[in-house]
């Protein structure tokens, strides 16, 4: 496998992804109780609603952007700058048009806010500010995504993570400053979302100029045939994106409609751990995407298969260990984080997290569909199962009276059916390999989830976890035990070589020395 360029860039990408994950997890865990403390749980429940609603509105632009990334990456890898400029400018002016079209729609939604969501009367004015600034930031982020394609095409995910880190950090700084200088208010959260989007846009355009000086913005490079090509592929990505949103983002709407703003805040708070684990999963899956696409652009299909299998194996192991520990310690974790009254939601947390070992483990396979331009069938299946998720959620809430636990359960069932069964099978099918090829790497992660959950539950019973330090010690002990198990049981010599080469030559030398002595 010709992977020298990957090996040189991989440590940089990995380092920045780990740093980004660390920043996101620290800020995410700190921000939820901070906002609940200063603006209340009902007001906090509107924050994820605003963010989620922009994702529903953006299904067209995000999907078209997925197609843009594929074609621009192939053009740049082949040093075809004429075609790259045509693709970039066609995408750029198409995105500008889509943004202009969305402005009246977003303006209408903002004015009709109280008819769409359950908003407490005392929060209506602040909610208008929140949604207005969040929508403005969202529109700006769409432009940022166009410029970020240059970083993706060169596998400079380290730079993309710098952009993301700056967005998060400036957002938090804005919230804290506004809360300190003025008063805690929901509207400043919206302003902070806009400030974060502005910083991302500035950084993205700066790196775009540095990495791809041959790309210029000019209407003369716009090509209608390329737009048709982007729309053709993007159309099925739109269908896939609709299904994705019905999988992962419909739950907050259902909770808001059936249980109100305060319940939405509580549900969203517990859901934060699901979001954080998904962020952790992106540390590896985001590294793999450009590697797969670049390998395909250079006709190295064997590398696509090897990278995909390796990504599934490592991601399933990592997610399995982390989710197992969190689920095993869930009641004490919620008590320390949000207060004793939230311990009753530990079962909700387990429902939200237990399936992630499978559903996030297959994330490295998603770029295969895009690379091979096989997006129609996954789009239909994702959309279909997304509708199933919505129906199950409403059914569990209204007929079975499961409360918002039923909403989480519906999501777990639907997304596992799609990711756990369909995705590994379809990826194998389009690559013409054994249909079991991508299922096998998931087994290790499932086993390690069970072990982590078991050991963490025992630690939770034996130790009085009364503060964060004890929680950290118990979690670390379980992590080390299960990680050592995974090293000897599920890692072959090739896997160990890759891990040690990424950690550093010194550690590899120590490992090789230990192996020779034994």
* Exposed / middle / buried, residue 494 (Cβ in 10 Å: 0-12, 13-18, 19+): exposed
Both tokens assigned to 35: 């906002």
2 φψ region: left (φ > 0), alpha (ψ -120 to 50), beta (else): beta
> What does the pLDDT read at residue 332?
94
* Exposed / middle / buried, residue 39 (Cβ in 10 Å: 0-12, 13-18, 19+): buried
Other residues' Cβ atoms within 10 Å of the Cβ of residue 125 = 12
- In Å, how far from its chain's centre is CA 312? 16
Other residues' Cβ atoms within 10 Å of the Cβ of residue 103 = 12
Of 51-60, 226-235, 307-316, least confident by mean pLDDT is 51-60
Tell me the average pLDDT across 231-257: 67
Per-residue pLDDT band at 1 (split at 50, 70, 90): very low
Query: Is pLDDT of 512 > 70?
Result: no
Per-residue pLDDT band at 505 (split at 50, 70, 90): very low
433: helix, coil or strand?
coil
**DSSP class per residue in 346-385:** HHHHHHHHTTHHHHTTTGGGHHHHHHTT--HHHHHHHHHH
Cα 122 to Cα 192: distance, rounded to the nearest angstrom: 21
**Cα radius of gyration rounded to whole Å, the chain:** 23
Longest dimension (CA), the chain: 72
Cα 233 to Cα 57: distance, rounded to the nearest angstrom: 19
Write the pLDDT tens digit of every residue in 63-95: 555 667 777 877 877 788 888 888 889 888 888
* Exposed / middle / buried, residue 112 (Cβ in 10 Å: 0-12, 13-18, 19+): exposed
Residues in the chain: 518
C-alpha dist (Å) from residue 416 to 7, 16, 243, 310: 32, 30, 13, 21
Supply the pTM of this predicted model.
0.72
> What does the pLDDT read at residue 333?
94
pLDDT over 70 percentage in the chain = 85
Q: What is the mean pLDDT of the chain?
A: 82
pLDDT over 90 percentage in the chain = 25
Query: Is pLDDT of 509 > 50?
Result: no
Q: What are phi and psi of 403, to 5 degrees?
A: 70, -160
Query: Is pLDDT of 450 > 80?
Result: yes
Cα 120 to Cα 261: distance, rounded to the nearest angstrom: 7
Query: Is pLDDT of 294 > 80?
Result: no
| HSE-CB of 117 using CA atoms within 13 angstroms | 30
Are 378 and 369 in contact by the 8 Å Cβ rule? The answer is yes
Q: How far apart are the first and last CA of the chain?
A: 30
Contacts with 488 (C-beta within 8 Å, 6 or more apart), sequence order: none
Query: Is pLDDT of 58 > 50?
Result: no
Are 468 and 336 in contact by the 8 Å Cβ rule? The answer is yes
Write the pLDDT tens digit of every residue in 203-216: 889 989 998 888 89
* Exposed / middle / buried, residue 454 (Cβ in 10 Å: 0-12, 13-18, 19+): middle
């Amino acid at each position: 496998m010709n992977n020298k360029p990957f090996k040189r860039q991989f440590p940089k990408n990995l380092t920045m992804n780990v740093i980004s994950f660390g920043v996101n997890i620290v800020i995410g865990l700190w921000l939820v109780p901070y906002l609940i403390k200063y603006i209340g749980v009902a007001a906090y429940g509107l924050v994820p609603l605003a963010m989620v609603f922009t994702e529903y509105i953006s299904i067209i632009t995000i999907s078209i952007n997925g197609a843009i990334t594929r074609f621009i990456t192939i053009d740049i890898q082949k040093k075809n700058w004429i075609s790259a400029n045509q693709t970039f400018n066609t995408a750029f002016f198409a995105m500008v048009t889509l943004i202009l079209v969305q402005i009246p729609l977003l303006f209408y939604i903002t004015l009709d806010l109280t008819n769409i969501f359950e908003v407490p009367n005392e929060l209506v004015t602040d909610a208008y500010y929140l949604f207005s600034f969040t929508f403005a930031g969202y529109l700006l982020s769409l432009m940022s995504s166009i410029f970020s394609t240059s970083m993706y095409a060169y596998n400079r995910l380290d730079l993309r993570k710098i952009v993301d880190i700056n967005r998060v950090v400036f957002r938090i700084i804005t919230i804290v400053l506004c809360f300190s200088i003025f008063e805690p208010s929901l509207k400043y959260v919206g302003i902070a979302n806009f400030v974060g989007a502005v910083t991302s846009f500035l950084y993205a355009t700066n790196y775009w100029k540095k990495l791809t000086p041959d790309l210029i913005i000019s209407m003369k490079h716009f090509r209608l045939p390329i737009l048709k090509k982007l729309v053709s592929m993007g159309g099925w990505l739109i269908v896939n994106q609709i299904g994705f949103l019905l999988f992962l983002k419909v739950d907050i709407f259902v909770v808001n409609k059936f249980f109100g703003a305060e319940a939405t805040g509580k549900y969203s708070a517990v859901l934060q751990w699901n979001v954080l684990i998904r962020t952790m999963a992106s540390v590896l899956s985001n590294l793999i995407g450009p590697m797969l696409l670049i390998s395909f652009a250079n006709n190295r299909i064997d590398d696509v298969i090897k990278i995909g299998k390796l990504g599934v194996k490592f991601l399933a192991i990592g997610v399995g260990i982390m989710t197992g520990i969190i689920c095993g310690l869930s009641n004490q974790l919620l008590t320390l984080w949000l207060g004793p009254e939230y311990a009753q939601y530990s079962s909700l947390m387990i429902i939200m997290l237990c399936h992630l070992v499978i559903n996030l483990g297959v994330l490295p396979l998603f770029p295969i569909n895009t690379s091979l331009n096989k997006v129609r069938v996954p789009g239909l299946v994702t959309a279909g199962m997304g509708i199933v998720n919505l129906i199950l959620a409403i059914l569990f809430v209204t007929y079975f009276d499961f409360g918002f636990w039923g909403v989480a359960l519906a999501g777990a069932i639907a997304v596992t059916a799609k990711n756990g069964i369909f995705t590994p099978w379809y990826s194998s099918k389009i690559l013409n390999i054994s249909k079991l090829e991508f299922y096998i790497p998931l087994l290790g992660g499932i086993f390690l989830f069970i072990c982590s959950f078991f050991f963490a539950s025992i630690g939770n019973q034996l130790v009085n976890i009364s503060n964060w330090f004890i929680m950290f010690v118990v979690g670390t002990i379980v992590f080390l035990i299960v990680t050592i198990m995974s090293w000897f049981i599920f890692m072959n010599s090739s896997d160990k070589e890759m891990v040690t080469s990424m950690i550093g030559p010194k550690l590899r030398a120590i490992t090789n020395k230990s192996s020779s002595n034994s």
